[in-house]
Amino acid sequence: MYLPMLATEAEAAFDSPEYIFEPKWDGYRALYYTKLGEIRSRRGKSLTETFRHLTKTSIDEAVIDGELVSFASGRPDFASLRKNPQTAVLMAFDLLSVGGRDVTKLPLESRKEILKELIQGQHLIGFSPDYSDGIKLFAALKDAGWEGIVAKRKGSVYRPGERSSDWLKIVAYKEIDAVVLEVIKERGTALLGLFRGGHLEPVGHVPLSRYADLEQKGPQVVTVRYREYTGKAFRHARFVRTREDKSPWECTYEQLVQPHKPR
């Protein structure tokens, strides 16, 4: 059994003739063992029972790397995936083995070419496209509400179980300004609130991390960076800064519909 190759995070999108650029799919990372009819998570846990419908393919023997994704409003939607896993498809972006032969040492472009041909005609497995312009792709996907992009070095080999700078993820973070309702030091979190209809409503907890010295001294406004708001909680959230220049009344729920861009 393999473990998937992992990407290193980069600060900003870029262009380079040495890289290709792919969409960053918002779902569950998975390896699909076609001969065994087995789907495993990035840590090796079996996901087969949850996504059994994806194992009904006509691919003889291969190990495919990809992301389990559900779509809503034309983009990947993690909440939909968790609620209705039977709607998931596998967006395939790499190939580790085919016909019993390990292909991890082949160049990236060769693996993708074999993969594209291998999955052609499969209704529940899509091919993750790649592009040459990273900055434009990132801007377009961010505006459309996607998670970001992954830059992959041309000619690179696949390194199972390793985090490598040959793959760079650039995440389209969102930011909002919110009111600190409560600091819960024993849990290492802060409960945040936003105004909706003139009332201050709790919207979720955020880890304090190095901001653990934040104290409740009356209404405080903080900027929070996150990937997604599920309606109940923030995903991958962290504090950015305190906002002494901003009134709590300016922290409205509308920000979750149109969050401002990170600065």
pLDDT digits (tens, 9 = 90+) for 173-228: 888 999 999 888 888 888 999 999 889 999 999 887 654 456 656 678 889 888 88
Residue of 24, 112, 142, 174 with catalytic role = 24
Residue range 71-84: mean pLDDT, rounded: 90
Q: Cα separation of 45 and 28, whole Å?
A: 12
pLDDT at 184: 83
Identify the CATH class of 6-171. alpha beta
- Of residues 243 and 76, the one with the higher pLDDT is 76
Q: How far is residue 70 from each of residues 15, 40, 92, 185, 212, measured CA to CA in Å?
A: 29, 17, 14, 36, 36
Residue range 121-131: mean pLDDT, rounded: 95
- Neighbouring CB atoms inside 10 A of 40's CB total 21
* Amino acid making up residue 191: L
pLDDT at 241: 84
Tell me the Ramachandran region of residue 236: left when phi exceeds 0, alpha when psi lies from -120 to 50, beta otherwise: left
CATH code of the domain occupying 174-256 = 2.40.50.140
pLDDT at 169: 96
Average pLDDT taken over every residue of the chain: 91
Any residues with CB less than 8 A from the CB of 200 and at least 6 apart, and which?
179, 181, 193, 194, 248
Catalytic residue at 45?
no
Instruction: Report residue 235's pLDDT band, with 50, 70 and 90 as the boundaries.
Output: confident
- Of residues 48 and 212, the one with the higher pLDDT is 48
SS3 108: helix
- Neighbouring CB atoms inside 10 A of 185's CB total 12
**Is the model's pLDDT at 105 over the cut of 70?**
yes
Query: Tokens 């509400």, residue?
Result: 145
High-pLDDT (> 90) share of the chain, %:
67
Residue extents of the structural domains in the chain? 6-171, 174-256
Domains 6-171 and 174-256 share a fold: no
